[in-house]
Structure 1
Amino acid sequence: MLRKGTPVRSVVAAQTTYRAYKEDLRRDFSSRCGYCDALDEFFGGVRGYQIDHFAPKSLFPEWLLEYRNLVYSCPFCNRAKSNKWIGDDKNIPNDGSSGFVDPCDPDLDNHLERDNHGRIRAKTDLGRYMIANLNLSLIRHQFVWQTQKMDELLGELLELEARLSADTEHYRSVLQEIARVTREHREYRRRAFEA
């Protein structure tokens, strides 16, 4: 699977500027980029994240404030997608081999996946188009995924450590060292993003 879950846009009150939807989008997208699934904490939180107009606002200004057209996005995916669109109909995002799939559409998982190392891989021609046009093959996407995975594994390690018996001291010391290094890495990231 490419992502933790499929985001679902909720029904929200109409706003006078699309930026006013940012907190709603953050909640609906679970603080993750709709395209690469990176948590916003890796890019300065909600302040560092951007709002993509799925059907580009430059081509379809009438959808500027349309919540169902907005995507919570990391700056890298937002800039890569920019105003790319395959035609002149805002309701047709792809032709089956070119274009995009709305991140809130469960069909996205039929076109993209991650391998065991966190690399984003295409399952279809449309997936290949999205990887190329969103720059999803860049190493940063793999690095962020691996870092998120380390955080998940740290939680599992801490649970396992609590269950180990005294006769497994060697295993306990290995787990403690892995947990220590992972905690230090997490603290470094926290400090780096606060600067």
Structure 2
Amino acid sequence: MIKLERGKRPDELTDEVCEELKRLYAEDNDKAVWNSPEIKKPLKEAMLEMSHKKCSYCECRLEIESKDATIDHFLPKSKHPDKVVEWENLFPSCLRCNRKKNNREEIIVNPCENEPREYLGIRNANRFRFKAIDSEGIGENTIDVIGLNDIERVMIPRMEEWESLEERLIEIENDLKEDGFKQKYKNRLRKIMEECLPDMSYSATKATNLLNDDTYSGIKNILIESDQWTDDLKELEKDIEHIALKLV
């Protein structure tokens, strides 16, 4: 999970429209008013822009294969009907996370209001498994309510994406040691680093693993010694550091 910045409320979601949709929902709680024709498209576009086209919780890529974007009500609509179309209460979510979260009301990390890095870390012994690091219980609630350590649906996909990057890092390090510095090796590293940025799936996990990877550190040292650890790579690393979680 990474920090998200909520953009401007869609113009179509006016106060008048919100009031009318809340009225319709009050009359029929089974009516998916958030999917009303006048707001469905702009609302979906605004939410996906906010979340980098990912699930706000598990960070899987949305709108691919079977991972359709659903609208999650951070405060459950069944218990907070007045927030059924409130912009600040809506998040794009994969169906798995939406169903898992359901109507539970434990206090969890709000990706737009909280900094996930203050509540969630990654276990050193299993670098695809989240661990709560706060003393308030919010991190533990988040892991439990959303199922962030679901092995089949979340941990394995995170692991597979990182292991693919790890294999490429090893190839780069071997090539650098064998051939010495070449621009193409630096370009390949840049592409790997870019795959750990916020707009990529499972970016918090990949960023954490990259910054704590011995092979990455070895490549970085070779580039520094070759005077090739340039400003563009430094800026990329800063962006990665901003979303990486604590290894605990």
Paired with 2:62 and 2:111, the residues of 1 have a C-alpha distance of 16
In the alignment, what sits opposite 2:47? 25
- 1:99 corresponds to 2:107: yes
**TM-superposed deviation, 1:42:** 6.1
Paired with 1:143 and 1:41, the residues of 2 have a C-alpha distance of 20
Asked whether the 8 Å contact 1:119–1:141 carries over to 2, the reply is no
Paired with 2:87 and 2:74, the residues of 1 have a C-alpha distance of 10
Which one of the candidate residues 62, 74, 78 is aligned to 2:98? 78
Asked whether the 8 Å contact 1:49–1:75 carries over to 2, the reply is yes
Aligned-pair RMSD on alpha carbons? 3.2
Structure 1 stretch displaced more, 117-126 or 15-24: 15-24
Paired with 1:155 and 1:31, the residues of 2 have a C-alpha distance of 25
Paired with 1:44 and 1:158, the residues of 2 have a C-alpha distance of 32
Mapping 1:28-39, distance limit 5 Å: 28-39=50-61
**TM-superposed deviation, 1:156:** 5.6
In the alignment, what sits opposite 2:3? 6
Uncovered stretches (5+) of structure 2, i.e. residues with no partner: 18-32, 186-248
**TM-superposed deviation, 1:106:** 3.4
**TM-superposed deviation, 1:152:** 4.6
In the alignment, what sits opposite 1:90? none
SS class of match (1:106) = coil
**TM-superposed deviation, 1:130:** 1.9
After superposition, the C-alpha distances for 1:15-54 in whole angstroms (9 at most, x for unaligned) are 3552411221111101222112222266535xx1211000
Paired with 1:42 and 1:50, the residues of 2 have a C-alpha distance of 13
SS class of match (1:52) = strand
Mapping 1:59-74, distance limit 5 Å: 59-74=79-94
**TM-superposed deviation, 1:160:** 6.7
Q: How much identity, in percent, do the aligned residues show?
A: 24
Structure 1 stretch displaced more, 124-133 or 159-168: 159-168
TM-score w.r.t. the length of structure 1 is 0.64
Which one of the candidate residues 116, 119, 128 is aligned to 2:129? 119
Paired with 1:56 and 1:71, the residues of 2 have a C-alpha distance of 12
In the alignment, what sits opposite 2:66? 44
After superposition, the C-alpha distances for 1:57-89 in whole angstroms (9 at most, x for unaligned) are 11111211111111111111111111112xxxx
In the alignment, what sits opposite 2:159? 146
Whichever residue aligns with residue 13 of structure 1, its letter is D
Which one of the candidate residues 78, 84, 93 is aligned to 1:58? 78
Mapping 1:136-175, distance limit 5 Å: 136-139=148-151, 140-150=153-163, 152-153=165-166
Paired with 2:114 and 2:164, the residues of 1 have a C-alpha distance of 26
Asked whether the 8 Å contact 1:43–1:49 carries over to 2, the reply is no
Aligned in 2, Cα 1:132/1:167: closer, same or farther, shift over 3 Å? closer
Structure 1 stretch displaced more, 151-160 or 70-79: 151-160
Uncovered stretches (5+) of structure 1, i.e. residues with no partner: 86-97, 173-195
Paired with 1:77 and 1:102, the residues of 2 have a C-alpha distance of 14
Paired with 1:44 and 1:164, the residues of 2 have a C-alpha distance of 42
Paired with 1:31 and 1:162, the residues of 2 have a C-alpha distance of 34
- Higher Cα radius of gyration: 2
